[in-house]
Structure 1
């Protein structure tokens, strides 16, 4: 029996249980009596974590991301830091890289600091093929864990994520309605987010009675020139449109079209993802999905502050994406 079990049985937050343990005046008598009764019935003895949770806060949150040089990650860190500062919190940032063991070690290292909560930025922490996430559940046994654009089920894990599946489903459907039948799907990873995007792409095809062709699912690096060169090497690949899981790959597809003398959007349409600066620095300007990173980060921090303040919060919050239509599509 632990603090999470007591909180669940009493139908209160873990922070509320901690306040009862510490005899805080912030808990009303009725709630305090209910929690104490559940503790007594279950012979619960508070440990050091229960006594400290929600109290004696260092007002510090740990942030971990794979690579701060990545545009999406850099913006997320900036948004999170700004929102944390607005609540009077500092943050500690660790960059873990993408290797599974490196991610695990980065989380272990930041956990050695005295932090009130941990934020994992990006879907790479949510597992993918053959990736283990049990270490995140272990961390959540000590402090609340918040995931930005990733999802893991578990006690004390709270996920705020973009609806990547629906965004790509809708974009694919728009292309199908526009008469496109050979839609190339460009991806650079098998992260949770990438797999949701791929499923949206595939389901849109299936629901419109179209085959999902393996040859039209292409794995490439998230690089403009790398994607361009990869497509130039695929001389027998025929497609009339592109959906990329990152804007960099979409711009690479535009570079490929320019090199081959293919008109955009006349002969092929191109859709990117993330609504980054790249989407408006190319010609023609790129139709792209706005995953609303700032809203994701603000929502996660607002939820965190509610939890640390003793309130119950949802474990999963889904944010709707927006398709920004520009000049690489004609729908």
Structure 2
């Protein structure tokens, strides 16, 4: 019986077995106990090779995002790579798309590369909020290597999450519109992701607090695309609303373009707010009020915690929530 046999029986890599032997904090408690049980059942005594194998870091981090063409994702990946390179780590990037099978395949592919940790960028990896089965593959990955999530949250050992406080930010934006007398506030979104759900909950909480009804027709699903959103709003031209809370800047700019076509003055007749405070917000005319979700802080927190775990073997927070900032510009009057 050798280390390869133990790894095979345990369903983990030989590097993971070595980490268990050496008491590395990079292995989840569940995986550790499973490997130790297999070792005990087979009377396995680690030799010098087993103790030494895998101790040296590969200095490689796996990063997965659903769509690198998205400005939010691209900015996150750029920050992560730059910061990790400063610590001497290389990065392997995968663009998984949004499909369940594709996401699982990319995670498994990167795990096969003997990465030190895995970073998942975006709330799509946190599942649909209804069933836990769609995040089981993340918990399984965390049995083999630490998993860090940016703006997504999955419960499990060896999983670390940094999220923007999307609930509070959207709540505050909606409350600000209500204080200005807005009655029919259109909520525009493109997905029911973890982040999307938190934003919707914040919107609904602000309405409920003001005794406003939550109207189904004012929860408007679109795509994160300027022209598509403009055209869809024009298609639903009978829909009455006096303000827009959009979950991304591209949707909000689509609403600005819609207002121009309809001859509506912004913000007097139609107040519009976006999200993520992207370069598009200041390129828009008029410039767009937008929520800064502090992506740079999320990424910095992730890297700092990762280095603390990998190189200092320190205990780190499992869940970090970062406050957002409402950046007021010309499309709002609050």
* TM tier, smaller: 0.7 to 0.9
1:222-272, CA deviations, whole angstroms, 9 ceiling, x for partnerless residues?
111100000001121000100000100000000000000000001010000
Change (3 A) 1:268 1:52: farther
How far residue 129 of structure 1 moved from its aligned partner, in angstroms, is 5.2
Q: Deviations over 1:21-43 (max 9, x none)?
A: 4389xxxxxxxxxxxxxx99xx7
Question: Which residue is equivalent to 2:300?
Answer: 298
Contact 1:21 1:46 in 2 (8 A): no
TM-score normalised by structure 1 residue count: 0.85
Which structure has more relative contact order (CA 8 Å, sep 6+)? It is 1
Q: What 5-or-longer segments of structure 1 have no aligned partner?
A: 1-16, 25-38
Instruction: Tell me how far apart the structure 1 counterparts of residues 21 and 108 of structure 2 sit (CA, whole Å).
Output: 27
In 1: Cα distance, 2:113 partner to 2:290 partner: 39
Task: For residue 53 of structure 1, report the CA deviation from its aligned partner.
Answer: 9.3
Distance 1:296 1:247 in 2: 19
Counterpart in the other structure of 1:321:
324
The 5 A counterparts of 1:1-331 are 21-22=21-22, 55-128=55-128, 132-309=134-311, 310-331=313-334
Q: Residues 19 and 232 (structure 1 numbering): CA distance in 2 closer, same or farther, change over 3 Å?
A: closer
Q: How many equivalent pairs are there?
A: 301
SS of 2:92's equivalent in the other structure is strand
3-state DSSP of counterpart to 1:179: coil
Shift of the alpha carbon at 1:82? Answer: 1.0
CA distance in 1, matches of 2:114, 2:156: 22
Secondary structure of residue in 2 paired with 1:288: strand
Partner of 2:13: none
Separation in 1 of the partners of 2:71 and 2:128? 21
Does the 8 Å CA contact 2:281/2:289 hold for their aligned counterparts?
A: yes
1:54–1:308: 8 Å Cα contact kept in structure 2? Answer: no
Flag the 1:55–1:221 CA change in 2: closer, same or farther, 3 A.
same
TM normalised by structure 2 equals 0.85
User: Counterparts of 1:23 and 1:103 in 2: how far apart (Å)?
Assistant: 30
Using the alignment, how far apart are the partners of 1:208 and 1:53 within structure 2? 61
Shift of the alpha carbon at 1:85? Answer: 1.0
Cα–Cα, structure 1 residues 47 and 210, in superposed 2: closer, same or farther, change >3 Å? farther
- Cα shift readout 1:64-102 (whole Å, capped 9, x = no counterpart): 000111100000000000110121111000110111110
CA distance in 1, matches of 2:217, 2:52: 55
Q: 1:183 & 1:149 partners in 2: Cα distance?
A: 25
> 1:32 matched to which residue of 2?
none
How far off its partner does 1:207 sit?
Answer: 1.2
Matched residue of 2:272: which SS? Answer: strand
